[in-house]
Every structure is written in C-alpha cells, then in structure tokens.
C-alpha cells in the first residue's frame, strides 16, 4: 500500500475551512500531498487561509472558492470551480455548520431551527450528491461529515444542533450502504469540545469547561489539529476499509 497517509494527486473540498477544524484539515491534507479547496462564506478569509497554506508548503496546494452552504447554486459553483482547477474531487469534507441558538429548545425560533437543519443536514446532502457521481464512476472516493459527540447525547443548551449531528451520522451510514459497491467510503467524525471560535460559547464558559474537564478522561479541551489527523487517516489508504462509521475524537468524554 506504500505510504499509508499519502494523498499525493488527490483533490479535497473542505467546507468551512477558512478557520478552525476545517482549516486544520485542509492544512494537514495539503501537507500529505493533496490539493485543497478552501471554502466559507467570505472570500477574503478563504484567500488568507489558502495563502497561509501555500506559503507554509512552498507550493500552490490550495485555492479559495467562497460558498454559502445554504445556497444550492453556490455549492454547485464550488464543485465546478474545483473541477476547473484540479479536474476531480477525490475527497469531500462537509465541515461547515451553524448553531444560531444557545439555550433550551423551548426558546428556539422556527427560523433558527430551520437554519440548523438546512446548513447541517440538507446542505451536506446537496454537496455529497454533487460530488459522489464522479467518485463512484472512478471507483474511489472518501467523504467525511464533521458531526459531534452532541449527536450521541442530549443537551439543555444545544439540542437542535445535536439533532442535526445525529442525522449526519445516519446519513453517513445510509450513503455508505449505497456507495460501498463503488468503493466510495462515507464516515463521520464526532469531535468533543474543541477550542475553536465556533465552540467558544462552551469552552469560554468556566462552568461548562469545568464540567467537561471533569468527565473527560484527558481532562482538557481538544485542538483542531487533533481532528485533522483523523480526517487525513480516513482520506488516505490507511482508512481504506473504514466506512459507515462515526469516529469519536473527544478526549474520552463519551467513555465516562
């Protein structure tokens, strides 16, 4: 199998990759040889992240394509621009997500709930359906959805988000069954509490942080790079026999 983590010649689209977990995944995949497409709503932020990766690696590994994941046309443009630049999509990481409500579900508005379901489930479905046909035709591809340990438990403050993340796990199982005969693998990664801007409402709250540290085997918050390593594994030959699974990376939170 050669180098188990070699991604040379592969092209990856990573949504929500101008910062946080998505940016770390893009950087590490590029380090392992892949071409990567940086995407989020703001083009300037995407360009900055792509330039940072290219400068660090000394090659033009990353391009920037802005896309609002709530818009089907924007996602199709993301795929089209990737094809124009690199000729294929070999790896897809659906990382972008929304959580506009922090509090009990009894106080969430219809618009907020709809936004969570749209951006965290339906948009992933759209993008996968745009990328999967070419993977299936080539008999090779890796698709990942960044879920959350929230999809495995209840919460008094991020209930709608957790519902969407549980749905992503089931989406991966269903698509693994459908795409498996064509050697296209579909998995989810379920991070625990990771120190990113997206999760700041949790790790920046002293009470929540203390509670998390008390139930986590490692007793700390995770770093974005610690999720990126799992993504590289699943995209590379090392993960060639893994599909339909949820890989929990949470410092041992769920073990307790």
Contact 39, 64 (CB under 8 A): yes
Name residue, tokens 């897809």.
Answer: 92
Residue 142 gets which letter from DSSP?
Answer: E
Contact 33, 7 (CB under 8 A): yes
- Report d(CA 187, CA 6) in Å as an integer: 19
Cα distances (angstroms) measured from residue 193 to each of 49, 222, 239:
23, 6, 24
Write out the catalytic residue numbers: 161
- Report d(CA 13, CA 5) in Å as an integer: 18
SS3 state at 115:
helix
Strand ranges inside 171-235, DSSP E = 184-191
Task: Tokens for 80, please give them.
Answer: 């089209």
Cα distances (angstroms) measured from residue 120 to each of 115, 161, 190:
8, 8, 13
């Amino acid at each position: 199998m050669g180098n188990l983590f070699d991604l040379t010649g592969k092209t990856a689209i990573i949504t929500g990759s101008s910062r946080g977990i998505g940016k770390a995944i893009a950087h590490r995949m590029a380090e392992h040889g892949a071409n990567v497409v940086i995407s989020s709503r703001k083009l300037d932020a995407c360009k900055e992240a792509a330039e940072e990766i290219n400068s660090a690696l000394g090659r033009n590994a990353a391009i920037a394509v802005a896309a609002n994941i709530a818009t089907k046309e924007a996602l199709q443009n993301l795929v089209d621009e990737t094809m124009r630049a690199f000729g294929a999509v070999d790896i897809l990481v659906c990382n972008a997500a929304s959580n506009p409500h922090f509090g009990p579900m009894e106080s969430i508005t219809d618009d907020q709930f709809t936004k969570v379901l749209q951006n965290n489930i339906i948009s992933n479905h759209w993008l996968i359906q745009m990328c999967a046909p070419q993977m299936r035709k080539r008999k090779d591809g890796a698709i990942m959805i960044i879920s959350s340990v929230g999809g495995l438990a209840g919460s008094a403050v991020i209930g709608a988000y957790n519902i969407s993340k549980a749905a992503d796990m089931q989406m991966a199982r269903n698509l693994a069954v459908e795409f498996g005969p064509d050697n296209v693998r579909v998995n989810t990664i379920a991070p625990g509490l990771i120190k990113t801007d997206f999760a700041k409402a949790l790790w920046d709250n002293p009470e929540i942080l203390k509670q998390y540290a008390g139930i986590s085997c490692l007793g700390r918050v995770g770093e974005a790079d610690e999720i990126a390593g799992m993504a590289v594994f699943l995209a590379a030959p090392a993960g060639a026999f893994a599909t339909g699974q949820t890989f929990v990376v949470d410092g041992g939170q769920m073990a307790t």
